[in-house]
Chain A
Amino acid sequence: MVRFSFLKVWLCACLGSVPVAAMAQQDTTQHQLRTVEVFGKPAEVYAAGSRVVQLDSAFLSTYSSGSLAEALQARTPLYFKTYGASGSSTVAFRGTNASQTAVLWNGLHIASPTLGQADFSVLPLSGIGEVAVQHGAAAATYGSGAIGGAVLLNSPKYNSEGLGGDVKLEAGSFGRYFGSGSLGYGSKNFSYSFSAYEHLAENNFKYKDLSRFGTPEVRQEHAQVQQHGLTQDLNWHISPSTALSLHGWYTFSDRELQPAMGSVNTNARQLDESLRLMAGLQHQSQLGQTDVKLAYFNDLLHYTDNSTDSEADVDTYQLQAEQTYTHGDRWSLRGGVNLQHFVARNDGYASEQEESRASLFALFRYDPVQPLQLTLNLRQALVDNYNPPLTPALGFNWKFLNSNQHQVSLKGNASGSYRVPTLNDRFWAGAGNPDLKPEQGWNYELGLRYVLVQGSTFLLETEATGYYMLIDDWIQWAPNHTGLWRPTNLQKVESKGFELSTTATAALGEVRLSSTAGYTYTSSVQAKVYEGSGSDKGKQLMYVPRHKAILAAEAKYKNWSLLGNLNYTGLRYTSNSETSHLDSFILLNLALSRKLQLGPNTLLLTLRSDNLTNAAYQTMAYRAMPPRGYTFSLRFIIP
C-alpha cells in the first residue's frame, strides 16, 4: 500500500509541473516514433554483425491498444506461446525458451527476477515509444538471459514544441474496450509526456470444444482481462552538455486465466502489478559521455485458484553507469558497470531473500576503413555461487559494395551468452539446487544485407542470416529420482537456422506502399541430456515451429491507409518427442484508417479485423484463441 501512495505523490508532483503553454501544430503520433537517445550511441552501435529489427511505427500506432505479445507475434518471426486469450504469453527466439530472452526497458532488464522471464501479455504497447528486436546472443552487451535474443523497449520522446495530446477509444468484438490518452509538452530544453490506458476484455468468444464428447460449440468462460497503466517521461537539458531524464511506467493487470479445453476451470486468476521508475543522467565532457541510470522496480504477482494462493513481490534496485569515449571517427570505447539488488518476498521461499549481482562490461568499436566496422564486447558477471565465465562477443559489418543504387554488406558475429539461475531456481523452499550452473551459450552467425535505392521512389532492403547456436546446462525443472521437482541443468541444445527478410518502400504517384516479408527456419534439438533417459535426443523441441513467415503491407492514399498482416506459423510439436503436434495456421489481420482534419486537430477512424479468415488455431495446445473479431477505434489528436 505504501507503494500506491508513493505513486500518487510522484504522479501529482509530475502533473503539477506541467505548465500550460501554447499549442503547437504537430501530430504527436509522429513524435512517439523517433529514437529516444538524446545524444550518444545506442548499444546497437557495439553490436556489429548482429540482426536488429525495429518494429514499424505505423503498425505500433494502429495496434497501440494491444500487448507487446500481439504486436511481435504479428510482425516478427518470433513464436509466442500464448495460453489462450487471457493467459500469459512468452517468447522463443531462435529455438530457445522464454527465460533465454532479455527484455530491456530504456536499457535495463525488466524480466521478472523470480521467474526469469517476461510475460509479454502484460506489457502494453501504449506508452512505449520504440520496440526493437535483437536476434541472437547479446549477453556481452545486455547481460544475463540474452541467449536467444533481446527485446528492446524505449520510452517515447516528446520532441515537439508546446502542448499536445491524443485520446483513443476503441470497442471491439467479445466485449473488448480500450481507452487511452496522452499529454505532452515540449520546449527547447525540456519535454514531458504522460499517457494512461485502460483495457477491458470479456473474451467471451465462441469456440468448438475439441475435448468434449460431440465437440460442441461453447462460449469461452473465465477469460476476462482488466488492465490499466500509465507512463511518464521527462527529459531536461539542464545545460548544453548535461541532460536529465525521468521515466515512470506503471502497469496493472487482473486476469482470469483461461483453462485449457478439457481441463477443469479452477477459477485461476492472476494479478500482475509493476511499477518501474528510472532516472538517467547524461553528461558530455572531454572524457566523452557519461551515462548513469538509476532504477527502482517493484513487481507483484499474485496467483490464486481454488486451492492455491501464492504471491511473489520483488523489489529490484539497479544502477548502470557507463562511460563512452570516442577517439576520432574510428575508435569508440564504452566501459561500464551494472549493479542489481533484489529483495524478494515469495510464498515459496523460506523467508525474504536478497541477492546482488554485478557485471562489468567493455564494448569496443573500431572502423579500420570506412566500410568495415569491427566490435569486440566483453562482460564479466559476478553472482554469488553462480559466476559465469567471461563472456565475449566479436562482430563485423563489411559494406563491400557501395554504389549509388546498390549496397551490399557482409556481416557476422561470434558471441557468448549466459543466464544465471533465477531467484526461484535458487530460493524455492526444498527445491533450490546448490549444484546448479549458469546456462552458457555460443552463437555464430553470418549474414548478407542488400539495399537497393532508386531515387526517392523505391527502397528495397533485404537481409539473409544463418546462425548456429549451442546452449549448454539449459536449466529446467524436472523431478529427481524421488519425485522431487527442482531445477536442474537438464540438457544441451543445438539450434540452427536462417532468417530472411525484405522490406520494400515505393511511392507511385499519390499512393505510398511499404511491405515487409520475413521467413525463418529453426531447428532446435536436444544434443545432450544430462538427466533421465534422454530418449528424445535429436528431436525438435516442443513449441518451436520450424517454419514461420510473415507478410505485412501498408498502402496509403491521400487520407486513407490500409494495413495488412499475414502470418504463417508452421507445425509445432507439443512435446519433445515429435509424436503430437499443433497444425500450422495462417492469420490475417487488416486495418483500414481514414484521417479527418478538424481545424488544427486530427481525427483518425480505424476499422480493423483480427483473424479475418476465422482460423481456428492454438499457440498452446487446447487453449482456445479468438475467432474473427472486429474493432472500431477513434483517435483524436490535438495538434
Chain B
Amino acid sequence: MKKLNFFRSFFLAATLAITSIGFTSCDDKDNVEPELPIEVRGAFDQKGVFILNEGNFRNTNASVSFMSDSAGHSVANHIFSKANAERPLGDVLLDLDLVEDRAYLTVNNSNKMEVVNAYTFKTEAVLENLKQPRYFTALNADKGYVTEWVVYGEPGQVSVIDLKTMKVTKSIPVGIQPEELILAGGKLYVANSGENTLTIINPATDAVEGTITVSDSPTDLVLDRNQNLWVLSAGKVVYNADWTAIDYTLTTAGALSKVTPATQKVQTFTFDSNRTMPANLVINGSGDKLYFIYDGKTFVQDINASGLSSTVFINSGFHGLGVDPETGHIYAGDHNNWTGDGTVHVYSPDGKPVSNFKVGIGPRGFVFN
C-alpha cells in the first residue's frame, strides 16, 4: 500500500506540475473552464453533479447518480453499484463529501461510511459500526468528523475519523440528534436538532468550546460570503400527553437564523406557522442567496434581507435542493411518492425550468464536482 501511495502521489504531483505549466500561458480570467486532466482517472473525473438518492428507509436501495456537465449532459444512475460488482450502497444515504481524490458516503441506516475513489467510485475502505451516522465534514485530507445520533432522543456525538486509517479516534459528546456540521472561522459548528443549540468544537483540540442557542430543532447549516453562519431550524413538534396528536399550542414554528461566528450574535427570523416545517437550506456559489422550502414551496432569500422572504421561487416543494455554484442553476429532487425512481428538475437562476432527468429513489442532495 505504501509503495502504491507513494507512486500515486508522485504521479499526481507530476501530472499537476505539467498541467500548471500548461495553464501558465492561459489568460487568468474568472470561471475559466478547466480542461479535462491529461490523465483521466475515472468516469467521474469530470465536471458534473453527484445526486444522492436516499432510498427507502429499511430497504437497501440508496444510490448515487452522476450527471456530467459535458455535452449531452449524460446521466449515469447507480454508479456505486456499477463500480462495485452490483453491491448495493445501503439503506438511507444522507451525505456525500468529496475530499481530494476520495468521496465519503454516509449511509445512515447501514451505520457505515463507504469511502470510494472519487473518480471511479470503487470502494477503498468502509467504516462500519457507526451509530446512526448523519453528516460528515472533513477538516483536511487527514481528519474528518461525522455526526451520530447514537440513540434517538438521547445526546448524540461527533466522531473524529482518521481519514488515513479510517478509524474513529475520538467521540465527542454533543446535543440531541446532531444533524449537519460545518467549519466556520476555524471552528466546527454542529446543529443539535433534538434541542435548540449548536455545539462549537475546536478542531485543534477536538474539545467542545461552547454552545449557541438558536431556535428549536436546528438541522441545516450554510456559510455565506461574509462568513456568517445560517441555521435553519425546523421547529419543535410537541405531542399531547398520550402521544396521539400534535399539540399546536406548544409546537414551535421553524426559523432561519444568522450567526456571526466572531461575536456569536444570533439574528432570528421566525416562520409564520407552526403547522409546516421549513427544510433544505442551501446557498448559491457566490454565497449571497439562500434557498429553502417552506409550506410546499421553494423560496429564495437575499442574505442582507431584513425579514423572511415571501418570494416564491418555485411553486412546489422538493425532497432535496442544490445550487450549481458556477451556473447558479437550482437542482430540485422530486421523490415521486417513493414508489419509483425520483426526478431531478433543473431551474435557471430566475426560476425557469431548464431540464429534468430520472435518477434513483428519493433524490435528496447534490454535490457539484
A residues bordering B, Cβ < 8 Å? 210-213, 215, 259-264, 306-307, 347-351, 429-430, 476, 478-483, 490, 531-533, 535-536, 539, 542, 574-577, 579-580, 621-622
Q: Find out whether the CB atom of A536 lies under 8 angstroms from the CB atom of B336.
A: yes
**Can you pick out 9 interface pairs between chain A and chain B where the beta carbons lie within 8 Å of each other?**
A211-B60, A211-B110, A212-B126, A263-B110, A264-B111, A307-B152, A350-B244, A429-B245, A532-B337
B58 → chain A closest CB, angstroms? 6
Residue from the list A307, A429, A542 in contact with B339, Cβ < 8 A: A542
Q: A residues within 8 A CB of B151? A: 306-307
Known interface pairs A307-B152, A482-B276, A482-B296; A575-B88 also in contact (CB < 8 Å): no
Interface residues of B in 41-92 (CB under 8 A from A): 58-61, 77-78, 85-88, 90-91
Residue from the list A263, A306, A531, A577 in contact with B59, Cβ < 8 A: A263
Q: B residues within 8 A CB of A349? A: 244
Q: Find out whether the CB atom of A533 lies under 8 angstroms from the CB atom of B343.
A: yes
- B246 close to chain A: CB less than 8 A: yes
Q: A260-B58, A536-B336 given; name 11 further pairs at CB < 8 Å.
A: A212-B126, A262-B60, A263-B91, A429-B244, A479-B335, A480-B296, A482-B296, A533-B334, A539-B340, A575-B341, A621-B61
Q: Find out whether the CB atom of B60 lies under 8 angstroms from the CB atom of A621.
A: yes
Q: How far is the CA of A62 from the CA of B231 in the complex (A)?
A: 64
Q: Find out whether the CB atom of A575 lies under 8 angstroms from the CB atom of B339.
A: yes
B 172-204 to A, binary, CB cutoff 8 A, 1 in contact else 0:
000000000000000000000000000000000
Q: A residues within 8 A CB of B111? A: 264
- B109 close to chain A: CB less than 8 A: yes
Q: How far is the CA of A593 from the CA of B112 in the complex (A)?
A: 48
Known interface pairs A481-B296, A575-B341, A577-B358; A262-B244 also in contact (CB < 8 Å): no
B257 → chain A closest CB, angstroms? 22
Q: Find out whether the CB atom of B336 lies under 8 angstroms from the CB atom of A535.
A: yes
Q: A residues within 8 A CB of B90? A: 211, 262-263
Q: Find out whether the CB atom of B317 lies under 8 angstroms from the CB atom of A264.
A: no
Q: Find out whether the CB atom of B340 lies under 8 angstroms from the CB atom of A307.
A: no
Q: Find out whether the CB atom of B77 lies under 8 angstroms from the CB atom of A579.
A: yes
Residue from the list A351, A536, A574 in contact with B244, Cβ < 8 A: A351
- B279 close to chain A: CB less than 8 A: yes
User: What is the chain A residue whose CB lies nearest that of B56?
Assistant: A575
Q: Find out whether the CB atom of A482 lies under 8 angstroms from the CB atom of B341.
A: no
Q: Of residues A350, A478, A579, which shows the largest number of chain B Cβ atoms within 10 Å of its Cβ?
A: A579
- B23 close to chain A: CB less than 8 A: no
Q: Find out whether the CB atom of B126 lies under 8 angstroms from the CB atom of A213.
A: yes
Q: Find out whether the CB atom of A576 lies under 8 angstroms from the CB atom of B339.
A: yes
B91 → chain A closest CB, angstroms? 4
Q: Find out whether the CB atom of A622 lies under 8 angstroms from the CB atom of B59.
A: yes
A531 → chain B closest CB, angstroms? 6
Q: Find out whether the CB atom of B358 lies under 8 angstroms from the CB atom of A482.
A: no
Q: How far is the CA of A535 from the CA of B335 in the complex (A)?
A: 11
B 317-360 to A, binary, CB cutoff 8 A, 1 in contact else 0:
10000000000000000111111110100000000000000100
Q: A residues within 8 A CB of B59? A: 260, 263, 621-622
B63 → chain A closest CB, angstroms? 8
Q: A residues within 8 A CB of B267? A: none
Q: B residues within 8 A CB of A306? A: 151-152
- B274 close to chain A: CB less than 8 A: no
Q: How far is the CA of A211 from the CA of B317 in the complex (A)?
A: 32
Q: B residues within 8 A CB of A212? A: 87, 126
Q: B residues within 8 A CB of A575? A: 61, 339-341, 361
Interface residues of B in 255-291 (CB under 8 A from A): 276-277, 279
- B243 close to chain A: CB less than 8 A: yes
A4 → chain B closest CB, angstroms? 25
Q: How far is the CA of A482 from the CA of B244 in the complex (A)?
A: 20
Residue from the list A259, A478, A480, A577 in contact with B341, Cβ < 8 A: A577
Report how many residues on chain B are interfacial, defined by Cβ distance under 8 Å. Answer: 44
Q: Find out whether the CB atom of A210 lies under 8 angstroms from the CB atom of B88.
A: yes
Q: How far is the CA of A480 from the CA of B296 in the complex (A)?
A: 9
A550 → chain B closest CB, angstroms? 28
Known interface pairs A536-B336, A621-B61; A262-B343 also in contact (CB < 8 Å): no
Q: Find out whether the CB atom of A482 lies under 8 angstroms from the CB atom of B336.
A: no
A15 → chain B closest CB, angstroms? 41
Residue from the list A307, A478, A539, A622 in contact with B337, Cβ < 8 A: A478
Residue from the list B78, B296, B317, B339 in contact with A536, Cβ < 8 A: B339
Q: Find out whether the CB atom of B358 lies under 8 angstroms from the CB atom of A535.
A: yes
User: What is the chain B residue whose CB lies nearest that of A478?
Assistant: B337
Q: B residues within 8 A CB of A351? A: 244
Q: Find out whether the CB atom of B245 lies under 8 angstroms from the CB atom of A490.
A: no
B 87-103 to A, binary, CB cutoff 8 A, 1 in contact else 0:
11011000000000000
B297 → chain A closest CB, angstroms? 9
7 closest A-B pairs by beta carbon, nearest first, are: A481-B296, A262-B60, A576-B340, A577-B340, A577-B341, A307-B152, A536-B340
B11 → chain A closest CB, angstroms? 26
Q: Find out whether the CB atom of A348 lies under 8 angstroms from the CB atom of B337.
A: no
- B311 close to chain A: CB less than 8 A: no
Q: Find out whether the CB atom of B61 lies under 8 angstroms from the CB atom of A210.
A: no
Q: Find out whether the CB atom of B296 lies under 8 angstroms from the CB atom of A430.
A: no
Q: Of residues A211, A306, A479, which shows the largest number of chain B Cβ atoms within 10 Å of its Cβ?
A: A211
- B295 close to chain A: CB less than 8 A: yes
Q: B residues within 8 A CB of A577? A: 340-341, 358
Q: A residues within 8 A CB of B88? A: 210-211, 261-262, 622
- B316 close to chain A: CB less than 8 A: yes
A340 → chain B closest CB, angstroms? 24
Q: Find out whether the CB atom of B337 lies under 8 angstroms from the CB atom of A211.
A: no
Q: Find out whether the CB atom of A482 lies under 8 angstroms from the CB atom of B317.
A: yes
Q: Of residues A480, A482, A536, A622, which shows the largest number of chain B Cβ atoms within 10 Å of its Cβ?
A: A482
Q: How far is the CA of A482 from the CA of B293 in the complex (A)?
A: 9
- B153 close to chain A: CB less than 8 A: yes
User: What is the chain B residue whose CB lies nearest that of A427?
Assistant: B244
User: What is the chain B residue whose CB lies nearest that of A260?
Assistant: B60
Q: How far is the CA of A478 from the CA of B319 in the complex (A)?
A: 13
Q: Of residues B78, B109, B126, B316, which shows the largest number of chain A Cβ atoms within 10 Å of its Cβ?
A: B109
Q: Find out whether the CB atom of B61 lies under 8 angstroms from the CB atom of A574.
A: yes
Q: How far is the CA of A259 from the CA of B109 in the complex (A)?
A: 11
Q: A residues within 8 A CB of B276? A: 482
Q: A residues within 8 A CB of B211? A: none
Q: A residues within 8 A CB of B110? A: 211, 262-264
- B123 close to chain A: CB less than 8 A: yes
Q: B residues within 8 A CB of A482? A: 276-277, 295-296, 317
User: What is the chain A residue whose CB lies nearest that of B125?
Assistant: A213
Known interface pairs A348-B244, A535-B358; A264-B341 also in contact (CB < 8 Å): no
Q: Find out whether the CB atom of A490 lies under 8 angstroms from the CB atom of B61.
A: no
Q: A residues within 8 A CB of B338? A: 478-479
Q: How far is the CA of A478 from the CA of B316 in the complex (A)?
A: 16
Residue from the list A348, A481, A531 in contact with B317, Cβ < 8 A: A481
A583 → chain B closest CB, angstroms? 11
Q: Find out whether the CB atom of A536 lies under 8 angstroms from the CB atom of B341.
A: yes
Q: Of residues B86, B279, B317, B340, which shows the largest number of chain A Cβ atoms within 10 Å of its Cβ?
A: B340
Q: How far is the CA of A533 from the CA of B341 in the complex (A)?
A: 11
User: What is the chain B residue whose CB lies nearest that of A83?
Assistant: B58
Q: How far is the CA of A410 from the CA of B128 in the complex (A)?
A: 61
Q: How far is the CA of A539 from the CA of B341 in the complex (A)?
A: 12
A592 → chain B closest CB, angstroms? 38
Q: B residues within 8 A CB of A481? A: 296, 316-317
Q: Find out whether the CB atom of A350 lies under 8 angstroms from the CB atom of B245.
A: yes
User: What is the chain B residue whose CB lies nearest that of A308?
Assistant: B152
A530 → chain B closest CB, angstroms? 10
B150 → chain A closest CB, angstroms? 11
User: What is the chain B residue whose CB lies nearest that of A307?
Assistant: B152
Q: How far is the CA of A533 from the CA of B339 in the complex (A)?
A: 11
B159 → chain A closest CB, angstroms? 16
Q: How far is the CA of A498 from the CA of B151 in the complex (A)?
A: 50
Q: How far is the CA of A344 from the CA of B334 in the complex (A)?
A: 36
Q: Find out whether the CB atom of A490 lies under 8 angstroms from the CB atom of B337.
A: yes
Q: How far is the CA of A351 from the CA of B243 in the complex (A)?
A: 10
Q: A residues within 8 A CB of B153? A: 307
Known interface pairs A260-B59, A264-B110, A349-B244; A479-B87 also in contact (CB < 8 Å): no
